[in-house]
Amino acid sequence: MAGSSLTSEQRQRYARHLALTEIGPAGQQRLMRARVLVVGVGALGSPVALYLAAAGVGTLGLADHDRVRLSNLQRQVIHSMEGLDQSKVDGAARTVSALNPDVTVETFAETVNAHNAMELLGAFDVIVDGTDSFAARYLLSDAAYLLRKPLVHGSIFRIEGQVTVFIPGRGCYRCLYPEPPPPGAIEESEQVGVLAALPGIVGTIQAAETIKLITGVGDGLVNRVLLHDTMAMTFHEVRYRRNRACPVCGDRPTVHQLADDAVRGVGVAR
């Protein structure tokens, strides 16, 4: 695709991408045509949305039911005091539009659940998981597989973080974690500490993986999960495969639609 279809302002804005062999004008056009849904506009969603907007992703869907709280501002750098007590998606949309007016933002100020997930995810090319609960992770993984959409997973807990990419047919969150956490397991929440920049490390790697999926370049974190310990500042990779017995993406799947309880049959207490 010719670079001439970019405006002169776009050629300036994306000059560093146009100079990259792996992106160039054709890759930039792919980014500008892409539709990415970021579920959860908090610690992880902040850097994901900022860097995807900066990269020129054409349409960013932002889904989060929450409002901005003061305690969010310690790490959720897409928000500011101006957005306090207001919807996170609206605050994030303002920051994204100010950074790059080329980006079309679609906001969903709602919880993603079994009733709306298929319709919501179905309208996008790539899904990014910026949520903070096991239930939401299983739900997004199931929905993304059933829709055959790639899912960029990231999560943090205390001083650790992880990133992996689920490509339909090559493994899902249930293949990686077939055993759900025990009932009453501690999840990422207001009661769990986090150092400001850890979600930045995890979220920016998620953004990079998303850009690679859209442009079709590089080696994605597929069938491997990157594990990061931020206090030790170490990075390890663990390989995993599709589980042939996976109830969702295995050889004889038993789950064909989303159920009310996202972790149905696997008993996670919420």
Interface positions, 131-170, toward another protein (CB under 8 A): 158-159
In whole angstroms, what is the distance from residue 55 CA to residue 63 CA?
A: 19
Query: Pairing relation of β-strands 234-239 and 224-229?
Result: antiparallel
> Smallest distance, Å, CB 159 to another protein?
7
8 A C-beta contact, residue 37 and residue 27 = no
- Choosing from 85, 234, 239, 260, the residue that interacts with another protein (CB under 8 A) is 234
| Candidates 118-126, 145-153, 187-195, 246-254; binding stretch for another protein (CB under 8 A) | 187-195
Q: Which position has the token pair 């908090």?
A: 42
Residue 13 or residue 264: which is nearer to another protein going by CB? 13
Query: Pairing relation of β-strands 104-108 and 59-63?
Result: parallel
- Assess 239 for contact with another protein (CB under 8 A): no
- Assess 98 for contact with another protein (CB under 8 A): yes
Burial 192-225 (b: 16+ CB within 10 A, else e): eebeeebbbbbbbbbbbbbbbbbbeeeebbebbb
> Smallest distance, Å, CB 84 to another protein?
11
> Smallest distance, Å, CB 92 to another protein?
12
- Choosing from 99, 114, 118, 266, the residue that interacts with another protein (CB under 8 A) is 99
- Per DSSP, 181 falls in state P
- Assess 16 for contact with another protein (CB under 8 A): yes
Binding mask 69-88 for another protein (x = CB under 8 A): xxx-xxxxx-xxxx------
8 A C-beta contact, residue 156 and residue 199 = yes
- Assess 67 for contact with another protein (CB under 8 A): no
- Assess 224 for contact with another protein (CB under 8 A): yes
Q: Which run of H or E residues covers position 238?
A: strand 234-239
> Smallest distance, Å, CB 3 to another protein?
14
- Assess 231 for contact with another protein (CB under 8 A): yes
8 A C-beta contact, residue 160 and residue 238 = no
> Smallest distance, Å, CB 90 to another protein?
15
In whole angstroms, what is the distance from residue 44 CA to residue 204 CA?
A: 8
- Assess 192 for contact with another protein (CB under 8 A): yes
- Choosing from 36, 93, 198, 246, the residue that interacts with another protein (CB under 8 A) is 198
